Amino acid sequence: MTPILEMRGITKSFPGVNALENVNLSVRRGEIHALVGENGAGKSTLMKVLSGVYPHGSYTGGIHFEGEERRFRGISDSEKLGIIIIHQELALVPQLSIAENIFLGNEQSRFGIIDWSLVETRTRDLLRKVGLSDPPSTLVTDIGVGKQQLVEIAKALSKQVKLLILDEPTASLNESDSAALLDLLLEFKEHGISSILISHKLNEISRVADSITILRDGCTVETLDCHGGAVTEDRIIRGMVGRALADRYPKRQPRIGDVLFEVRNWSAYHQLHADRQMIRNVNLNVRRGEVVGIAGLMGAGRTEFAMSVFGRSYGKRITGQAFMEGREIDVGTIRRAIDNGLAYVTEDRKHYGLVLGDDITHNISLANLGGVSRAMVIDDMAELAIAGDYRRRLNIRCSSVSQQTVNLSGGNQQKVVLSKWLFSKPKVLILDEPTRGIDVGAKYEIYGIINQLADEGKGVIMISSEMPELLGVCDRIYVMNEGRFVAEMPAAEASQERIMRAIMRNGALATSDMDGEKSA
């Protein structure tokens, strides 16, 4: 089949670095082409070249789309030809309706006056294609991330898309939404729409991709054809990191001690809807040197539970008790929770974890300014020394500890957040999706840090949506669904099937339970 897109010998450099060097990418008509590589390998840069964010002339090499050489001067040029990119951070206006968002910048109007009935029918049409049944007038802020992603795709369809580029579309979706999205891509394929899928989730790639291009350090490593024979995940990883990772999860000999931290009968209600119970009677304990996982689907209440325990930073009408080393502790404010030995590493490091405009040093000391100051005066030399120390220990790759955190890659940003919480000298760390959006190599390093913490006798509570990760890292796993813990199992006896079964069985149970409440 002829390629719809050929990028040949693309080289793009920024002052001081070659972001892309002689990269080739060829996408056949009607295929799903996966683009993989570690963070910083050049995937996003390549897509920006393709979509015209970096205009013709700012790079060398050629782009051929549908057989002709193209010179895009901006995004509008590439969109006109049907090349649509959907970014990881969705570009929707939350306070506008689905319909308004879909036709934003492309309003269905005559002489500047919008034809609302046309908008309505066209939107319904598009939404049907992506499998959404919400009314077009629904505000985007009122629908979940999964549906928002579908709205973005509907928007792409409205522009007669020929080549759809998705940048980590499933990063913030739960498993069923992810599956639905991938099915949609397969359906588009039947209709002759080609897609480029950027993803860190290798299982998804092996499921849908027809071919896989691997980038490493700004160069094309290889393009694998998935039809010629099975491409294993290990094969992809080897291409990405340039070596075979013997094991994706570093081994640890658990030395588990007494119960360190315990939560009893924890309940909490929704932040805004005070009658909606989010957390129902949760009991949890973690022992010294133990890594405890909390599995569950998106929306199960894991983050809400963790944040409500950590200084009541989420929820209303919180009840329950928390114990540290057998003594009941006060976790009523974040400060007190920290002082009592808790740390919470957020799932959203950009919005809740880092002061992006500030440097590494200041971010690391933020949760424990008392540790670098005397009588409120900061000892900046001590602060720098501490930052340097964590930089070495956690292998934070940066030009200096005075570098702004906004310029770090995802994995290194996560290490800065971890450093901050390690410096607050916690006894128990709650890690919420600690490896979200970071590449395989950095993930391995983070697992190593988690193991080290456990070896030092700390307790670790890890929330993750990636079940293999929980199975690989944890000693014991709680399964959460609809705000309650529905199962608990040693990792040795756990499997993805067992976890899913626990969720499904209790999901049905919980729903009938809720119905009962409504009728009562």
Partner 1 sequence: MSTQTVLAPSGGDAGSLKLFIKKHLREYGMLLSLIAIMIFFQIMTNGTLLKPLNLTNLVLQNSYIIIMALGMLLVIVAGHIDLSVGSVVGFIGALAAVMMVQFKIHYIPTTLICLLVGGAIGAAQGYWVAFFKIPSFIVTLAGMLVFKGLSLALLAGQSVGPFPVEFQKLSSGFIPDVFGGASIHVTSLLLCVVVPAILIALNVRNRLNRQKHGVEQEPLVFFALKNLVLASVVGYLGFLMSSYKGLPNVLIIMFTLIALYAFVTMRTTIGRRIYAIGGNEKAAKLSGIATERVTFYTFINMGVLAALAGLIFAARLNTATPKAGVSFELDVIAACFIGGASASGGVGRVTGAVIGAFIMGVMNNGMSIMGVGIDWQQVIKGLVLLAAVFLDVYYKNKA
Q: Which stretch binds partner 1 (CB under 8 A): 191-199, 343-351, 466-474, 481-489?
A: 343-351
Distance CA 262, CA 183 (A): 42
Closest to partner 1 by CB, 330 or 358 = 358
DSSP annotation of 323 reads E
Per-residue x/- mask for partner 1, residues 355 to 394, rule CB under 8 A? xxxx---x--xxx-xx--x--xxx-xx--xx---------
Q: Measured from the CB atom, is 330 or 380 closer to partner 1? A: 380
**Residue 436 sits in the site that holds partner 1 (CB under 8 A):** no
- Rounded to whole angstroms, the Cα distance separating 328 from 321 reads 7
Question: Which of 450, 363, 348, 448 shows the shortest CA–CA distance to 398?
Answer: 363
Q: Shortest approach of partner 1 to residue 322 CB, angstroms? A: 16
Q: Which of 81, 334, 489, 510 binds partner 1 (CB under 8 A)?
A: 334
Q: How many residues does the chain have?
A: 520
Residue 82 CB partners (closer than 8 Å, separation 6+): 159, 160, 161, 162, 163
Distance separating alpha carbons of residues 442 and 448, to the nearest angstrom: 10
Report d(CA 15, CA 213) in Å as an integer.
Answer: 26
Q: Which of 476, 473, 498 is closest to 248 using CA atoms?
A: 473
Residue 514 engages partner 1 in binding (rule: CB under 8 A) = no
Q: Give phi and psi for 317, each to the nearest 5.
A: 45, 55
Q: How far is CA 516 from CA 228, 282, 301, 502, 519, in A?
A: 54, 21, 21, 21, 5
Please state the closest distance from residue 466 (CB atom) to partner 1, in A.
Answer: 23
CA proximity to 36, closest of 267, 176, 215? 215
Under rule CB under 8 A, residue 272 binds partner 1: no
Please identify, using beta-carbon distances, which residue of 75 and 334 lies nearer to partner 1. 334
Q: Which of 413, 416, 411 is nearest to 388 (CA)?
A: 416
Q: In whole angstroms, how close is the CB of 392 to partner 1 at the nearest point?
A: 14
- Span from 5-13, 284-292, 352-360, 480-488 in contact with partner 1 (CB under 8 A): 352-360
Cβ at position 137, least distance to partner 1 in Å: 29
Among 346, 414, 451, 465, interactor with partner 1 by CB under 8 A? 346
Q: Which is nearer to partner 1, 25 or 418 (CB)?
A: 418
Kindly state whether residue 429 participates in binding partner 1, applying the rule CB under 8 A: no
Does residue 403 belong to the site contacting partner 1 (CB under 8 A)?
no
Q: 267 to each of 163, 352, 355, how far by Cα in Å? A: 47, 23, 31
Binding of partner 1 at residue 313 (CB under 8 A)? yes
Q: Which is nearer to partner 1, 290 or 304 (CB)?
A: 304
Q: How far apart are the first and last CA of the chain?
A: 62
Q: Calculate helix-pair angle for 380-394, 410-423, nearest 10 degrees.
A: 120
**Which of 71, 335, 393, 425 is close enough to bind partner 1 by CB under 8 A?**
335
Kindly tell me which of 14 and 128 has the beta carbon lying closer to partner 1: 14
Our finding on whether 17 is near partner 1 (CB under 8 A) is no
Question: Which among 69-77, 164-172, 186-194, 351-359 is the span making contact with partner 1, rule CB under 8 A?
Answer: 351-359
Residues that bind partner 1 (CB under 8 A): 310-311, 313, 333-335, 337-338, 344, 346, 351-358, 362, 365-367, 369-370, 373, 376-378, 380-381, 384-385, 400, 402, 420, 424
